[in-house]
Amino acid sequence: MKQNEALRSRSIRRVLWQVLGLNLLVAFAKLICGGLTGAISMLADGIHSLMDSSSNIVGLIGTAVAARPPDHGHPYGHRKFEVIAALGIVFLLGLACYEILSSSVGRLFTGKAAQVTFWSFAVMLATMAINGGVSMYEHARGSALRSPILLADSLHTRSDLFASTAVLAGLIGTRLGQPWLDPVAGIVVVFFIARVAYRIITSSLDVLADARVYHPDEIASAAMEVPGVLDCHDVRSRGLPDHVHIDFHLTVAPDTTTSESHAIAHRVVDLIQERFPGVRDVTPHVEPPEEEPRS
C-alpha cells in the first residue's frame, strides 16, 4: 500500500512538472508578443498563464505534503493537504478574475485599441492549442490517478482557454474596427472562470467537511450479504474518492463467540474493500442484538 502511494505521488508530481514547463512556455510567448505589439490584452493573458504556472507550484508543494505517511499527530494521513492545495488554486483563479475584469473595464473606458499583427493571431492560436492539450492530458491523468489536485489544475488550465478566447475576440474586433469587443469578451470570461472556481470549492469543501462518499444503504446491503450478520447500521464514510474511511456497527447473534465475531467482521471488511473502490480503512463495531427492536 505504501509503495502504491509513493508511486502515485511521483506520478502526480511528474505530470505537474510537465505541465509547469508547458505553462511557462505559453506565458512567456504571450508576454513577449504582447510586449512587442503593445497589446494589453495579450500581456494580461500572459500574466494569467503565469498564474497557471503558480498553481502547478502550489500543486507540487501540496502533493509533497500529502504523500507523507500517517503519523502520531495525523493518524489518517495527510491526504487532505492535497485538497487544501486545490483551494489554493481557487485563490489564484480569483486573482485571474480580478486581473481580467480590471483590464477589461479599463479598456472599455479608455477605448484604446491594441496593435494587431499576424504574430498576434499565430501566438494566440498556438498557445490555445497547447493549453487545450495540456488540460485534456492533465484531466486524463487526474482521473486515472484519482488526484483532486490534477483535476482542479486541469480546470484552471482550461480557464486559460476562456481568457485566450476573449483576447482573440478582442484582436478580431480591433482588426474589424470594433475595439469594444475586447473588454466585453473579457468580462464574459470572468463568469466562466468564476464558475470553474465554484466547482473546485464545492468539491474541496465536501472533503474537508467530511461529506459522505458512499450512501449508507450501499455499505449496509453489502455487509448483510456476509453470513452471520444480522444487521448493519450507523454507517459513516468520509475522505477522498481514492482514500475513503468507513465505520459502521454490525449486529451478530448473541451466542456468537468472540473469535467468530472477529472472523465475520474481517469477511465484511474484505468484501467492502473489494466491492467499493478507494476504500482504504474500514472499522466495524460488532455488537449483539438489542433486546428491544431498533426504532
pLDDT tens column, 14-29: 888 888 888 889 888 9
Task: Domain ranges for the chain, please list them.
Answer: 2-208, 216-287
The fourth-level CATH superfamily of domain 216-287 is Cation efflux protein, cytoplasmic domain (3.30.70.1350)
pLDDT: which is higher, 258 or 39: 258
Mean pLDDT, the chain, whole residue set: 81
**d(Cα 50, Cα 192) in Å, to the nearest integer?**
19
Query: How far apart are alpha carbons 270 and 265 in whole angstroms?
Result: 9
Instruction: Summarize pLDDT for 233-258 with one digit per residue, the tens.
Output: 999 999 877 678 999 999 999 888 88
Whether 202 shows a pLDDT value over 80: the answer reads yes
pLDDT of residue 5: 63
Percent of the chain with pLDDT over 90: 19
CATH topology (fold) of 2-208: Alpha-lytic protease prodomain-like (1.20.1510)
Mean pLDDT of 145-165: 78
Confidence check: pLDDT of 80 > 90:
no
**Which helix or strand (DSSP H or E) is residue 38 part of?**
none
Does the pLDDT at position 78 exceed 90? no
DSSP type of residue 214: S
Summarised one tens digit per residue, pLDDT across range 54-68 is: 777 777 776 677 667
Closest to 278 (Cα-Cα) out of 239, 220, 223, 248: 239
- The C-alpha torsion from 197 through 198 and 204 to 210, rounded to 10°, is 170
2-208 and 216-287 have identical folds:
no
| pTM across the whole model | 0.61
For residue 295, what pLDDT band results from cuts at 50, 70 and 90?
very low
